[in-house]
Every structure is written in C-alpha cells, then in structure tokens.
Amino acid sequence: MTIPFQWKNCYADVASSGYGQIARAFLKEVVEPSLSALQAQLESWSRSDDPGAPFAQSDTEVLLHATTLAFCLAIQSMWERQVRTYLRGCAEELRPGSAFAKRVMTERWEGIDRLFYDLRGISLTKFEAYGDLDLLQLLGNACRHGDGPSARKLWDQHPDLWPQRKPSPSLFDDDTPAMPGPQSIDAIVLSQDLIRRFADAIASFWDDAEYIYLESIEQKHASVEAKLVTMRLARATRDVAMASNLSSNIRT
C-alpha cells in the first residue's frame, strides 16, 4: 500500500481552505456573466440592420478582447497572491525568525517553486493542475507587460493562442516560405473555456492541498476519515482516466 504524501500541517492550511471556492465564485459571479453579456451584444449587433451596427460590433469586439485579458490577469494575480500568502503563513510558523516569510513575498515567481518545496516538501510541478497554472502565470505576465520576453515565451510554447497566425517576411532571398513569427499580445485569442480552465486549476490545486492536509492529520476524526475515503476514490478515478488518456494519445 502506497503511503500518501504528508507534510507538517500549519494554520495556513486552514486559512487557505476557502481559496478554491473564491476562484470558483469569481468565475461564476463575475467573469462568466460579464463575458456572456458582451457575447450577447456582439450577436445582437451582428443581426442588426442599424447603419452603425458594424462599428458598434467592432467596438464591442475590442472591449470583449480587453475584458478577457483583464480577467485573465485578475485570475493570475489572485492565484499568485493566494500561494504567496499561504507560503508566508507556513514560513512564519515553520521558520520563525528567519527571512523565509519576507523572501516569499519578494522572490521572483521563478523561485517560488523552490520555496514551496523547502517549506512543504513537494514541488508545485507535482500537482495535477500545474500545467494550466504555469500557462496562467506566463499569460498573466504577458497581459501585464505587453509585448516582451513573456509574450515571446508564450508564443514559443503556446502558438495555438494565436489562431490567426500571419507569416513573417522571409529572411532569405530564395523562395523559402515565410513561417509564422511572434505576434503582438493584442492578437491573442482567449476563449471563455480557457478562462474557466484557469479558475478550475486554482480550485484543483487547493483541493489537492486540502487532501494532503487531511492525510497529514495524525489523529483523524471519523468525519475526516469518511471525507478521505471519498477523496481517495475521486483521485483514483482521476488517475485511471489520466492514464487511459495518455495511453490513447501514445497509440495515436
């Protein structure tokens, strides 16, 4: 029998218990209604016979794009603030009097995984949601800073976010076809489904953190044991599904 991963529980684990729900509520109560309203406006203008409809539709498309980028940045900021606050609480309890708490709040994001491992004994990369959270972090930086290193890295790793990729001028004098080159963050296309994935990834991360917290309780109440039975079953089902999808992808 594999022993579940455990860490030393902190009050920060209790304080972070609502973080996932906050992400879900932000998506449901703020993001989705706003984007759906703008989508409805676009559809209305596209059917309108008003002479000014094409201009209003164009303006609404620009607003929808800017709003989607803003929500992406807001969700990324929420995630980063949550994980830094969580680690600061762990540092204050596990390393009192050290510089860890200050480092957590000032460290560049690239160093947060190392601090997380130092304080919790597990890497962020081990969490199922890491892939989407890593994309969210990169995308948030690109949205915040515009065209620059983050946008270029995003282009290199996720060119599919630019479905209307245009070829860059050829660097050769012959007939070598021009290949798509890095394009502005303003041309990126973010779907509502992708924004939903990001919120779900944040919630998934904190669900996994709660699972580790419960497994790490030495003397478990019957209600905790019952909850863990349900969580273990859900995780086992998830792992089987992931393995099945991986096997299918390998065969194709």
For residue 5, the 8-state DSSP code is P
Tens of pLDDT, residues 11-30: 999 999 999 999 999 999 99
Name the band, by pLDDT with cuts 50, 70 and 90, for residue 249.
very low
Q: 209-232 burial by CB neighbour count: b if 16+ within 10 A, else e? A: bbbbbbbbeeeeeeeeeeebeebe
| Token pair of 196 as six digits | 């939903």
Nearest to 72 by CA among 31, 25, 13: 31
Distance of CA 139 to the CA centre of its chain: 9
In DSSP terms, 182 is beta-bridged to none
- 209 contacts 4 by C-beta, under 8 angstroms: no
State mean pLDDT over 217-229. Answer: 89
Name the band, by pLDDT with cuts 50, 70 and 90, for residue 175.
low
* Residue 128 burial (CB count, 10 A): 16
Identity of the residue numbered 48: S
The confidence score (pLDDT) of residue 171 equals: 40
Phi, psi of 217 (to 5 degrees): -70, 125
- Could you give the 3-state DSSP secondary structure of residue 72? helix
For residue 155, the 8-state DSSP code is H
State mean pLDDT over 139-143. Answer: 88
- 119 contacts 94 by C-beta, under 8 angstroms: yes
- 170 contacts 182 by C-beta, under 8 angstroms: no
Mean pLDDT of the chain: 85
- 143 contacts 185 by C-beta, under 8 angstroms: yes
With a cut of 80, say whether residue 169 has pLDDT above it: no
For residue 109, the 8-state DSSP code is G
* Residue 32 burial (CB count, 10 A): 16
d(CA 22, CA 178): 46
State mean pLDDT over 175-196. Answer: 73
Q: pTM for this structure?
A: 0.84
- 89 contacts 15 by C-beta, under 8 angstroms: yes
The domain spans of the chain are: 18-46+55-167+180-204, 217-252
| Percentage of the chain modeled with pLDDT above 90 | 51
For residue 180, the 8-state DSSP code is B
Tens of pLDDT, residues 52-85: 888 988 898 889 989 999 999 999 999 999 999 9
Nearest to 71 by CA among 196, 185, 158: 196
| Token pair of 75 as six digits | 């969700």
Tens of pLDDT, residues 75-131: 999 999 999 999 999 999 999 988 889 999 999 998 999 999 999 999 999 999 999
